[in-house]
Structure 1
Amino acid sequence: MKLLLTSGGVTNPSIEAALVDLLGKPIADATALCVPTAQWGHPMCGPTSVRRFVVGGLPDLGWGSVGLLELTALPTIDPERWVPWVREADVLLVDGGDATYLCHWLRESGLADLLPSLTETVWVGVSAGSMVLTPRIGDLFVEWAGAPDDRTLGVVDFSIFPHLDVFPDNTLAAAHEWAAGIGGPAYVLDDESAVRVVDGEVDVVSEGQWHRL
């Protein structure tokens, strides 16, 4: 997969240009599936915030078509139905919430097993939608009571501390303390920044602040 791991979404022209480059075509010619599942695992999210994501934000960038993929429903559907939906999409727009809850449903749904074969698909993550691809998120970001620990999918070899200076507790000092317990490399991103990963090559796209710890 081609990864655009954002903190706050496609929030500026530089991140949007990176997205278009990853797609290899204009946004208006691309098909997208939005995945709101992570929101159900976070106590600050609910029907209103899910609706806000589905009808605005990433899905409202002017895609050729946009569909909704709810991971909690996939175990009840024959894979012969939903796998083609995923394979035919140019991009998966994966929203934030709780990354451990999202990780659980990526595995339960079978989508996690499908990801390695989606070599041309673009994954655009927002907050937890980005963090779920990392090895660990740290206890600071675990909000789902059902989480066994802070481990996630480990598709990439670094962790992400999102929303730098957006919330009172998301300070650089807090990020350094968090990173000390992660035990691996990490990126600290504000909402104007994103990490891009293509064929194992990692770089940062930003019109704001970011740090590598």
Structure 2
Amino acid sequence: MKLLLTSNGVSNNSINNALLDLLGKPIAECNALFIPTAIYPHPNGANMAWQAICGKTKSRFCQLGWKSLGVLELTALPSIKKEIWIQDIQAADALLVWGGNVLYLSYWMQQSGLADLLPSLLHKIVYMGMSAGSMVVSTTIGETYSTYPGGSMNALTSENIVFSTPQGEISKFFFTAQGAGLVDFALIPHFENENFPDTSRANAEKWAAKLPIPVYAIDDQTAIKVVDNTIEVISEGRWKLFNF
């Protein structure tokens, strides 16, 4: 199993080198499949998916110089013969799973059948996630929302949690859900990012305390590299392991 779990893509040389190590060859010789599914529940999600595919985002992900780049849309897979789309995955060197709504992504990983297949595929394919795409590989996912997200999701529990922000305390919906089950730790991306007040150090600790497994909070200059049962933190920034 080869995973590179990032908060914001390949944001520095250390993460780039970790990706090259996992691939075992130059990126220019590698075929990648991009999964944009998680972004669609967000406002302007379709446009953001297009920007990511075309390499027009600030996050270096699709625009790394892949030999080829295909798009694998999870919501379409249940209507396609499995033997067809499995061939596309088997021909890939890397599976790129983008950010967005992790509950929606988890739901469609289960519904599409990809979650069941991943353990048998990742002996040769590198899984690289960004934000929600990284969070979804856990056995248990935790995520916060200002309003009830609705739509298709596989939430297990829901409760309110009070977070501190520069504007004062706010109450948020906190959901847990079943993930793909590839790792027995959870992730909080965008750690201590002012654009994500839920991920301040104090709020991340509250978040992590709600989950039954260890939790890595990683900033946008950090990634978690997993090879089989070996976990390595790759960082030029800040991160923290919450292990209650």
SS of 2:53's equivalent in the other structure is helix
SS of 2:40's equivalent in the other structure is helix
- For 1:183 and 1:109, the matched residues in 2 are separated by 26
Counterpart amino acid of 1:162?
Answer: P
Q: How far 1:77 sits from its partner (Å)?
A: 0.9
Where does residue 54 of structure 2 map in the other structure?
Answer: 55
- For 1:207 and 1:139, the matched residues in 2 are separated by 25
Q: How far 1:45 sits from its partner (Å)?
A: 4.9
Which of the numbers 100, 103, 106 marks the counterpart of 1:97?
Answer: 100
Q: Does 1:195 align with 2:201?
A: no
Structure 1: 5+ residue stretches without partners: none
- For 1:10 and 1:182, the matched residues in 2 are separated by 27
Structure 2: 5+ residue stretches without partners: 156-175
Q: Does 1:159 align with 2:176?
A: no
Which of the numbers 109, 114, 135 marks the counterpart of 1:111?
Answer: 114
Counterpart amino acid of 2:180?
Answer: L
Q: Does 1:179 align with 2:208?
A: yes
> How many residues end up aligned between the 2 structures?
212
- For 2:145 and 2:4, the matched residues in 1 are separated by 20
Q: Deviations over 1:7-37 (max 9, x none)?
A: 0111101000000000000000000000000
Q: Does 1:131 align with 2:158?
A: no
Correspondence list, 1:4-83, <5 A: 4-41=4-41, 43-56=42-55, 57-83=60-86
Aligned 8 A contact 1:192 1:207 in 2: yes
- For 2:87 and 2:15, the matched residues in 1 are separated by 28
Counterpart amino acid of 2:191?
Answer: L
Percent identical among aligned pairs is 46
SS of 1:58's equivalent in the other structure is coil
Q: Deviations over 1:39-83 (max 9, x none)?
A: 113x34512211111111311100111111111111111112110
**C-alpha RMSD over aligned residues:** 1.5
Q: Deviations over 1:98-129 (max 9, x none)?
A: 11111111111111121111111100000000
Counterpart amino acid of 1:203?
Answer: E
Of structures 1 and 2, the one with the larger relative CO (CA 8 A, separation 6+) is: 1
Q: How far 1:153 sits from its partner (Å)?
A: 2.0
Where does residue 86 of structure 1 map in the other structure?
Answer: 89
- For 1:117 and 1:47, the matched residues in 2 are separated by 31
- For 2:97 and 2:149, the matched residues in 1 are separated by 17
- For 1:171 and 1:50, the matched residues in 2 are separated by 27
Q: How far 1:86 sits from its partner (Å)?
A: 0.4
Q: Deviations over 1:143-186 (max 9, x none)?
A: 64133422222210001011012224121111001011112201
More helix by share: 1
More strand by share: 2
- For 1:147 and 1:73, the matched residues in 2 are separated by 16
**Larger deviation: 136-145 or 46-55?**
136-145
Aligned 8 A contact 2:102 2:143 in 1: no
Distance 1:168 1:124, change over 3 A: closer
Which of the numbers 116, 120, 123 marks the counterpart of 2:124?
Answer: 120
- For 1:9 and 1:17, the matched residues in 2 are separated by 13
SS of 1:104's equivalent in the other structure is helix
